[in-house]
Structure 1
Amino acid sequence: MFALTESMSYYLCPHYVDMRKGIYSLYQLVKTDMKRNPLSGEVFLFLGRNRSLIKILHWEDGGFVLYQKKLERGTFEVPRFNPSNNEFEMKWKTFVLIMEGVSVRSAKYRRRF
């Protein structure tokens, strides 16, 4: 069943991607640019230069799932990362905020026990 959940790890590609790329080209970007295993079950996010389109690549049992969301208006926000350590992992909360159009930079998380 198609599903993205909180228990998965999410990684954003460190650079903008040509949105004409399909599953196999994105697979290669994950291996070469992100240095991750595309078959790991992790979720990989790719943004185009104008940030109005996002592609999400995920391996499920037996095959890849490629999600795509195109905004009619506005852009997806790109969270800030430290490129020096080449880690572009994001939390589930950040992923959901970006997909819903909430500004990550101005969002304040309340402390929970």
Structure 2
Amino acid sequence: MKIFVATRPIDFRAGINRLMGLVTHVLGHEACAGDVFVFRNKSADKIRLVRHDGTGAVMAAKVLDRGRFCWPPIQDGTIVLSGPQCAALLSGLDWTGLPATEVRRPLIYG
């Protein structure tokens, strides 16, 4: 599973169907592939995560009590985050200094 961050802010009135549509038609990703997509509002104090788990779409949201989420520069498309980077992002911390390396699953022989 990959974690993609949409760099452009979205209208937070959008529901789960609209966000899944953005994943496919605007971001150019396969919405039902099981990846996580993270969106933010204009003021960067709210985020929404969407994922299709194979049986349906799931959406989660977080609103910071104070401060803003650290966000990449606004451009078209997405960036990929590692697990630790995503955890820092969801905590409202600056994740940009954390390593972006992906941990690979060990190969099982037998």
Q: TM-score scaled by structure 2?
A: 0.80
2:91 counterpart of 1:97:
no
2:56 to 59, 63, 78: 63
Percentage identity across aligned positions? 22
1:20 to 1, 7, 13: 13
Q: Structure 2: state its 5+ residue gaps.
A: 100-110
Distance 2:78 2:94 in 1: 21
Q: CA deviation at 1:24?
A: 0.8
Q: Name the residue aligned to 1:5.
A: none
Distance 1:43 1:108 in 2: 19
Q: Which runs of 4+ in 1 moved over 3 A?
A: none
Q: What is the alpha-carbon root mean square deviation over aligned residues?
A: 1.9
Kindly provide the amino acid, as one letter, of the partner of residue 93 in structure 1: P
Mapping for residues 41-52 of structure 1, pairs under 5 Å: 41-52=34-45
SS at match of 2:23: helix
SS at match of 1:55: strand
Distance 1:80 1:38 in 2: 23
Distance 1:101 1:62 in 2: 30
Q: Higher helix share goes to which structure?
A: 1
Number of aligned residue pairs? 99
Q: CA 1:75–1:87 in 2, change beyond 3 Å: closer, same or farther?
A: closer
Q: CA 1:108–1:9 in 2, change beyond 3 Å: closer, same or farther?
A: closer
Kindly provide the amino acid, as one letter, of the partner of residue 102 in structure 1: L
Distance 2:78 2:14 in 1: 23
1:23-68: CA deviation from partner (whole Å, max 9, x where unpaired): 1100111012210011000000000000110000011131111000
Q: CA deviation at 1:104?
A: 2.3
Q: 1:79 touches 1:104 (CA, 8 Å); kept in 2? A: no
SS at match of 1:50: coil
Kindly provide the amino acid, as one letter, of the partner of residue 20 in structure 2: Y
